Copies of this chain bind each other. A is one copy, B any other.
Amino acid sequence: MMVLITYDVSTKTASGQKRLRQVARLCENYGQRVQNSVFECLIDPQQFTELQFELQRTIDPATDSLRFYHLGAKWKGKVEHIGANQNYDPEGFIMI
């Protein structure tokens, strides 16, 4: 299944900057970065549960946020890209 993950992590403090790196690294383990704070993850339900758990315990819920969008199986027809890096395909490789 395709899950889109977007996040905001407050980087006003050193610990916030560390959380931002940790969140990005976790998402990199499960999906493909498509923008700075946006990942598309082709994962199964168990992987999603693991990832969500890890992300949730990494952020500071007072200042940071995570959003998960379940795009379903027919996600390809739902996504449009304009601008830089538009040849990205989460089922293939990034064309640069």
Chain A contact residues (Cβ within 8 angstroms of B): what range?
A: 35 or more
- A15 CB to nearest chain B CB (Å): 15
Chain A residues numbered 29-86 whose CB sits less than 8 Å from any CB in chain B: 34-38, 52, 55-56, 59-72, 77-86
Say yes or no for A22: interface residue by CB 8 A criterion.
no
Q: Are B64 and A84 in contact (CB under 8 A)?
A: yes
Residues of A within 8 A of B (CB): 4, 6-8, 34-38, 52, 55-56, 59-72, 77-86
- Interface CB pairs A-B, < 8 A, 30: A4-B69, A6-B6, A6-B34, A8-B38, A35-B37, A35-B65, A35-B67, A36-B37, A37-B37, A38-B38, A38-B67, A56-B82, A60-B83, A63-B84, A64-B83, A64-B84, A65-B81, A65-B83, A65-B84, A65-B85, A65-B86, A66-B83, A67-B79, A67-B81, A67-B82, A69-B79, A70-B78, A70-B79, A70-B80, A71-B78
